[in-house]
A = this chain, B = another copy of it.
Amino acid sequence: MPDFEHIFRPIRGRRSFEEVAVSIKELVFDGVLQVGDRLPSEIQLAKQFNVGRQTIREALRLLELSGFITIQRGGGGGATIKNTILSRISDLFLDAFRMGMVPIEELTQARLEIEKVVLHYAIQNADGEDLRLLQENVDRARKKIKKNIRATEENFEFHTLLARASKNRIFVIVVESIMAIHGNYISRVGFDLEVSRNVVTFHEAILKAIKRKQRKRAVDLFTEHMLDVRDRLQSLVEQENSERRFSGDRAGILP
């Protein structure tokens, strides 16, 4: 494929803040700048790149939103090289969902299918450390449940740990993104203690099957688990929709 990215670029001449951002990005790609390194202050950067501070500010904004740097205010602050790209991807997925680009049913369906694949690879590739982390996770969750506390965080983490165990980072990104949306959704509608207990029980059974390399049993359990979650989500969605149906519509444009 011809490199459209580069061939078609000059249609709109790059803005200088983009030039600045790209050259800093290149330094990160090339390893000259590494995570933890601090960039000079805005004024310094403006001098070195021979541009105004506004240009530098917009370049930093671009890098910040692309997950390359974080910025701290105050003395000794400034821009620090970080890698929060994955977090940014999740943010955008969340936006896409909020834009109504992805209905909840498709989200759950995709999650089920992708996690089934993940489970397959996890059974194949999980090492001792992965199994230890998963076991620790369900133990912590069970302990909370016994104290009548919902183990929501642990229950989410279980899926992340599973994705990690698959040893494929694309799966980790995708699973985390989808779960960020699910998590955001559930945080709005709320799951109760009973559901949380149920989820933990499923997770314990799934982990046991993984350890015994019982592939079919693990997948069956997982499918049942996800369909259960789907149904609960579905009813919550319908409930929320019917509640919102008659709440007056808002008016007014830009303050």
Contacts and interface: CB of A to CB of B under 8 A. Distances in A.
A78 interface: no
B106 A117 contact: no
A170 B85 contact: no
A67 B95 contact: yes
A48 B254 contact: yes
A106 B1 contact: no
A24 B23 CA distance: 30
Given A58-B61, A61-B62, A99-B85, A255 B152 contact: no
Nearest to A107: B170
A85 to B, nearest CB: 5
Contact of A2 (B65, B67, B114, B152): B152
A133 interface: no
B86 A89 contact: no
A38 to B, nearest CB: 12
A178 B178 CA distance: 16
B89 A169 contact: no
Contacts of A85: 92, 95-96, 99, 101
Contact of A152 (B1, B12, B27, B178): B1
A3 interface: yes
Interface string A24-61: 11011110100000001000010011000010011001
Given A58-B61, A61-B62, A170-B106, A1 B178 contact: no
Nearest to A65: B65
Enumerate the 7 nearest inter-chain pairs by beta-carbon distance, A residue then B residue, closest first: A110-B170, A1-B152, A3-B187, A65-B65, A113-B117, A106-B168, A102-B169
Given A28-B99, A49-B254, A114-B114, 10 more contacts: A1-B183, A2-B187, A12-B73, A85-B92, A85-B95, A96-B173, A102-B169, A109-B168, A110-B168, A111-B170
